[in-house]
Chains A and B, each alone.
Chain A
Amino acid sequence: GENVEQHPSTLSVQEGDSAVIKCTYSDSASNYFPWYKQELGKRPQLIIDIRSNVGEKKDQRIAVTLNKTAKHFSLHITETQPEDSAVYFCAGRSFQKLVFGTGTRLLVSP
């Protein structure tokens, strides 16, 4: 089955810096890769996703890149703000199952 690994587990940046979170997956049949943001005490919410027929997708300050050959995908956040502080989860989907990474705690300091 699918296995998703996520790094780093914690990431501290200064406001305005960029942040990058990386994930690798094992199942070459996986075709959908979402990213979820979970603020403290709240439910995870989808922030961006990418399908396997696309290499990059952007939405304002966030972008996701996918390298199918290497089986890795990354979340890029530019011009970070304190409200970006949260836990971010990557995931990969294979046969209706969404498998999550272990999460990255991002702390953006003013």
Chain B
Amino acid sequence: DVKVTQSSRYLVKRTGEKVFLECVQDMDHENMFWYRQDPGLGLRLIYFSYDVKMKEKGDIPEGYSVSREKKERFSLILESASTNQTSMYLCASSGQNTGELFFGEGSRLTVL
């Protein structure tokens, strides 16, 4: 059974703080993704990675960065959190030749 684990389910941070969201998958998947989910806006792609140390911008990368030092781990970094980054963040992974995304349970971030 594929498992995508996000380190924190709920976080509360202050404006200007640096925030790390960690994601680990155990299926040796090449591709990993970070989405944010907001009501009425669906799932919007922030960044994705198709290999170790590789990263590609998604549709809303501003204010975020990512790190993929190991195949199983993909981190999302908010260098200076702002209130408009309050959201649900979903990590996902997929294999090289399959389309199915396997999602983590999500990290709900509140920035005060």
B interface, size bucket = 20 to 34
Contact with A along B77-91 (1 / 0, CB 8 A): 000000000000010
- A49, A96, A102: the one within 8 Å of B42 (CB): A102
What CA separation (Å) do A96 and B48 show in the bound complex?
9
Find chain A residues with CB under 8 A from B56 CB: 96-97
In the assembled complex, the CB of A76 is this many whole angstroms from the nearest CB of chain B, namely: 20
Q: Which residues on A sit within 8 Å (CB–CB) of B106?
A: 43
Residue of A6, A43, A102 touching B90 (CB-CB under 8 A): A43
B90 touching A32 by the CB < 8 A rule?
Answer: no
Report the minimal beta-carbon distance from B102 to chain A, rounded to whole angstroms: 8
Closest to B99 in A: A32
Question: Across the interface, do A98 and B40 meet the contact criterion of CB distance under 8 Å?
Answer: no
Does the CB pair B33–A98 fall under 8 Å? Answer: yes
Chain A residue at minimum C-beta to C-beta distance from B103: A43
Q: Which residues of the other chain, A, contact B43 by a CB distance below 8 angstroms?
A: 44, 89, 100, 103
Q: How far is the CA of A36 from the CA of B42 in the complex (A)?
A: 11
A46 on the B face (CB < 8 A): yes
Q: Which of B25-50 contact A (CB under 8 A)?
A: 31, 33, 35, 40-45, 48, 50
Q: How far is the CA of A9 from the CA of B48 in the complex (A)?
A: 27
Q: What residues of chain B have their CB less than 8 Å away from a CB belonging to chain A?
A: 31, 33, 35, 40-45, 48, 50, 56, 58-59, 90, 99-101, 103-106
Provide a sorted-by-A list of 10 A–B residue pairs whose CB atoms are within 8 angstroms. Answer: A6-B42, A34-B99, A42-B105, A43-B90, A44-B43, A44-B90, A46-B100, A96-B48, A97-B45, A98-B33
